[in-house]
Structure 1
């Protein structure tokens, strides 16, 4: 189990989380999806022609991704007048630069998606990251690359950062298992710890001489919607990817990938969770514009979850713009036994709302959150208990129980360098006076101006 780590210290600033003075009435613009932004960046780099990404999230994670691609010889050029518009130009040779260093920070999509590109580099690629990233599991994706002929040299703990990937001398030497007579390179990994292990390998599958057949050997598949997103994005780029989810097998045929020359990034629906969830905690109405009719983002499940917790959810359209509008009288219904396997990344936001629930809730199917930026399950229990709430870890999730009125109290809350723990703390502060959040700047990972957006929420 990943140990919970905190990089906080007494010198880090404390942010006073504002209390909602009354019911909310706000419209909040949400930046582009991190999951889509970083997948599009990878797919654009794998193509042969420039791709302009419109509405790209500009945050620490996407900056790290663009920095990694630049190191590999990919040019990521922003529009000077619109920084969220970025044109990605792959290397003219079609080969990525080797003998380079890639810095992953604490970004899971960087440390798990970029190593696959090293298969097509002209020399070894060295990977490193934040000290806290050394605790994040990496071995399944690296085992997969070794099965594809790469050599992985670890410079610390096996299966963790830092490491060096040396590409195979010739990709034509990649072993073929001949599954189903297709001749694809076959990889078997246990991706129970993160869907990103599967996505990271699928993204490069079409560049392999015989494609890829990937078998997930674990009993559960976490964040399956994220894998579906990867498959959909591959197919949108001209690949031929398909899934047999019942058998836990994914196949990508060999062939070129090329995104359209202009791609618009959807808003990050998981990042909408703190703002829409705030309507249940404080009461009132919160709207998020540009909500898609259909989406591959797991955050697309959020409106249904909030509705089950007592909110009224509608999708009005104004001037051709579709909104997600959440209204509540401030009463929160507990969820009982609730399977959150499909959208574990919004667990901290749902947990913040459920602290004020009327009956206990068991959020299950999220044991893999122990391997995120921090051990999120342990962190949530610690911080809920810190403010006088009642929570406990389950083998595969988290139990949150209601407490008597007046029990919840002020506290200085830790964020563990985890952006979702910071927004979780801010949500509690809507109703609990005196909440102070240490290192709220960690939200820059996906929300470059979270505190400004939170101020807008409260008017």
Structure 2
């Protein structure tokens, strides 16, 4: 992977001035639907045996890329507008295709993945069931995101991969197999759980199912794999998980998602807003917080509580909230294993920049393969404002400093939505913070700037408006 250049995308003239806050908050913030669930539901709906209506779908760049890609593959998707959060997915009628080849999707198309991991790592497995080769391409930054473990798995199943750039990375073309070559697949998914999820989501459609083994020494973000398993089972699939051997066995099944389902709010995207209560003091509440969830963001309340906040889950008019109350004191987390929820790292790092003790954040080496090298990015931007951070092999160290040393700066986002929200969080306590390319937040939060401004207005949003 190309080394991160901390001065890439430096355009101070276009930087967004992050609001500073010197009084406590009192806000309710409604968070859009989960990207992780939205794109998993779209994949499974495309593989289902009947139409599916999804409510509360996130409408962002990543989900719109998924919808556009599925349409190219022959999936019919009804929506009132490009902003509609209710969509109806009508899968291709595979009964019209030659059964011997298990075909269901159109080939001879080019899928544009943007910078979306769930698009570039979930959709290629659907190319196994296309009637001709399928090409995958994306943003220039996407050319640095590893793809090889997933593609190794597809080759083991009989597909042919032709790379038109660097081997193991976008862009590439997948030629589907004439006959599926294997039932057992062995890959090293240490750099991303998405490689496992991408294969599992399509595995029920394989004529003999799959026995998928992870051969690596570590497995990041296991909750995301559990999310995929839960969603497959929701669609009528069968997945047997053996954590001792890191093996998943999926039987061949005709999937059938419920005819109507609703996407939970994105709990990881709640992190900047709930974290704002610790930075500014006061109260921030997020409605529609689920009682149970497979989202890694579901761990967030526990983490914020350890950092000194008071967290509870009141109900009002049948709606369950996550409410965070803080006086502005932030405690360090010591040696802190974040392997299960690495996507929370930038938001937690922004908070820990102001903590009263050291935190060693571990288990997040895989973040080097996200939208950018997030470990290097977090350390560079924490140092940029005068704080103290250090990159390690498996994580980062954030040490406390005299907050009088902290100063304004232009925070680089590196085309990474979570680094952009990281910068906004720093701005609540540090005057003179600007964030370059704040629009990269549209990847998962279509109106982050408007939501941030509304939160700071101390005029609670109507929780019933979602």
**Shift of the alpha carbon at 1:81?**
10
Distance across 2 between alignment mates of 1:390 and 1:220? 28
In the alignment, which residue of structure 1 is the partner of 2:117? Answer: 108
Distance across 2 between alignment mates of 1:79 and 1:212? 38
Distance across 2 between alignment mates of 1:393 and 1:120? 42
Q: Does 1:132 align with 2:141?
A: yes
**Shift of the alpha carbon at 1:191?**
0.1
In the alignment, which residue of structure 1 is the partner of 2:150? Answer: 141
**Shift of the alpha carbon at 1:246?**
2.0
Contact 2:34 2:264 in 1 (8 A): yes
Distance across 1 between alignment mates of 2:22 and 2:365? 36
Q: Does 1:245 align with 2:254?
A: no
Q: Does 1:39 align with 2:40?
A: yes
The partner residue of 2:325 within 303, 324, 327 is: 327
Distance across 1 between alignment mates of 2:288 and 2:270? 11
Structure 1 window deviating more from structure 2 (47-56 vs 138-147): it is 47-56
Report 1:130-279 matches (<5 A): 130-171=139-180, 174-175=181-182, 185-279=183-277
In the alignment, which residue of structure 2 is the partner of 1:56? Answer: 57
Contact 1:7 1:417 in 2 (8 A): no
Distance 1:277 1:440, change over 3 A: same
In the alignment, which residue of structure 2 is the partner of 1:302? Answer: 300
Distance 1:81 1:221, change over 3 A: closer
The one-character-per-residue Cα deviations of 1:327-359 (angstroms, maximum 9, x if unpaired) are 000000000000001100010000000000000
**Shift of the alpha carbon at 1:91?**
1.2
Q: Does 1:123 align with 2:132?
A: yes
In the alignment, which residue of structure 1 is the partner of 2:70? Answer: 69
In the alignment, which residue of structure 2 is the partner of 1:30? Answer: 31
Distance across 1 between alignment mates of 2:2 and 2:303? 28
Contact 1:50 1:90 in 2 (8 A): yes
The one-character-per-residue Cα deviations of 1:63-86 (angstroms, maximum 9, x if unpaired) are 011111011011222135970001
TM-score (norm 1): 0.96
Contact 2:12 2:436 in 1 (8 A): no
Distance 1:426 1:11, change over 3 A: closer
**Shift of the alpha carbon at 1:7?**
5.1
The partner residue of 1:397 within 390, 395, 401 is: 395
In the alignment, which residue of structure 2 is the partner of 1:377? Answer: 375
Q: Does 1:96 align with 2:97?
A: no
Contact 2:272 2:421 in 1 (8 A): yes
Contact 1:2 1:136 in 2 (8 A): no
Contact 1:12 1:439 in 2 (8 A): no
Distance across 2 between alignment mates of 1:207 and 1:81? 29
The one-character-per-residue Cα deviations of 1:284-303 (angstroms, maximum 9, x if unpaired) are 10000000000000000000
**Shift of the alpha carbon at 1:9?**
4.1
Distance across 2 between alignment mates of 1:12 and 1:91? 48
Distance across 2 between alignment mates of 1:77 and 1:332? 47
Distance across 1 between alignment mates of 2:107 and 2:81? 29
Q: Does 1:79 align with 2:86?
A: no
In the alignment, which residue of structure 2 is the partner of 1:434? Answer: 432
RMSD over equivalenced CA pairs, Å? 1.2
Q: Which runs of 4+ in 1 moved over 6 A?
A: none
Distance across 1 between alignment mates of 2:358 and 2:11? 34
Distance 1:12 1:223, change over 3 A: farther
Distance across 2 between alignment mates of 1:352 and 1:289? 23
Would you say how many aligned residue pairs link Structure 1 and Structure 2? Answer: 448
Q: What is the DSSP-based 3-state SS (H/G/I as helix, E as strand, rest coil) of the residue aligned with 2:403?
A: coil
Q: Does 1:3 align with 2:12?
A: no
Distance across 1 between alignment mates of 2:217 and 2:2? 20
Structure 1: runs of 5+ lacking an equivalent:
176-184
Q: What is the DSSP-based 3-state SS (H/G/I as helix, E as strand, rest coil) of the residue aligned with 1:406?
A: helix
In the alignment, which residue of structure 2 is the partner of 1:180? Answer: none
Q: What is the DSSP-based 3-state SS (H/G/I as helix, E as strand, rest coil) of the residue aligned with 1:362?
A: strand
Contact 2:12 2:410 in 1 (8 A): no
Contact 2:10 2:412 in 1 (8 A): no
Contact 1:49 1:258 in 2 (8 A): yes
**Shift of the alpha carbon at 1:317?**
0.1
